[in-house]
Amino acid sequence: MEPLDAAAIRVPGVRVRVVASCASTNTTLMAEAPATPELLAAESQKAGRGRRGRRWHARPGLDMAFSLARPIRRPARELAALSLVAGVAAARALRALGARAVSLKWPNDLVSHAGKLGGILVETRTQGRVALAVVGIGINGPVDSTLQGRLRRPVAFLGELVNPMPSRNAVIERIGRELMRALDAFEAQGLDAIREEWLSLHAHDGQRLRVRLADGRTMTGIADGLAEDGGLRLRTRAGIRAVRTGRVVAARAA
């Protein structure tokens, strides 16, 4: 595989860095707190993280693990929607590169029919009326038939969705550009800037879902769009409910 190269990742208005190894690109940028937009990509992460403290596994030199940090000027109550904004940007970029089967699983997964292709981790730190937002993205690269067994869950690869697979530098550049564009729109309009596009990309629209909530309980209902703040709307026997922290653990046709 072509090595990562900062000079080959051109995102207007963004400083791009590539490191051979780090604990986590998100952790590094959160600690550095850059005042202007910065993208950090790593060939290897020693402690890559997913949502809710889960480990993110990225194969050194094969997969893509990178983060983009930038100031965001929106009310703190709206920042939870950033994972949806990032998802739209990443899906938009990957589809433009030929991966037309990419869709979104609420709140932060990139998926295809084969399984999970990538994940998104957004962390924020509010300082007055400005928040530092760090958006971490991990994408599975070439096909590895053994990875699904090791992770014990369905896995998708960019290499099976696009043949030949674009270079990792090209993928990171395209996502970085789309992410900056989506974040600009979010700053100007809030979640409404990407709401309809997210709904058009939703992998489980209209399906019956089982969602595990943050406290361990489960909720079942039919996916019915997004709440105003980006929560997942479910039509349940008790009426419309909005889930704001949780993960979809099962889906089937309604």
pLDDT in tens, the chain (254 residues): 789 999 999 999 999 999 999 999 999 999 999 999 999 999 999 877 765 556 777 889 999 999 999 999 999 999 999 999 999 999 999 999 999 999 999 999 999 998 999 999 999 999 888 999 999 999 999 998 777 777 778 899 999 999 999 999 999 999 999 999 999 999 999 999 999 999 999 999 999 999 999 999 999 999 999 999 999 999 999 999 999 999 999 999 99
Per-residue tokens: 91: 């899906």
Residues 110 and 182 in one domain: yes
Residue 1 covered by a domain: no
Residue 118 covered by a domain: yes
Residue 43 covered by a domain: yes
**Omega within 30 of 0 (cis) for the link into 142:** no
Residues 195 and 215 in one domain: no
Domain edge (last residue) among 184, 200, 216: 200
- Structural domain tally of the chain? 2
Pairwise CA distance, residues 219 & 105, whole Å? 16
Residues 104 and 219 in one domain: no
The pLDDT of residue 56: 73
pTM score over 0.75: yes
- Helix axis angle for 168-189 and 82-96, nearest 10°, is 140
The pLDDT of residue 145: 79
Residues 115 and 33 in one domain: yes
Indicate which CATH number applies to the domain containing 246.
Answer: 2.30.30.100
Pairwise CA distance, residues 233 & 213, whole Å? 13
Per-residue tokens: 75: 């009310």
Helix (H, G, I), strand (E, B) or coil at 185: helix
Pairwise CA distance, residues 125 & 34, whole Å? 12
Domain edge (last residue) among 200, 218, 244: 200
DSSP state for residue 63 in the 8-state scheme:
S
The pLDDT of residue 50: 61
Tell me which residue range forms the domain holding 213: 205-252
What order do you get walking across the sheet with 109-112 strand by strand? 15-22, 38-45, 64-72, 130-139, 115-127, 109-112, 103-105
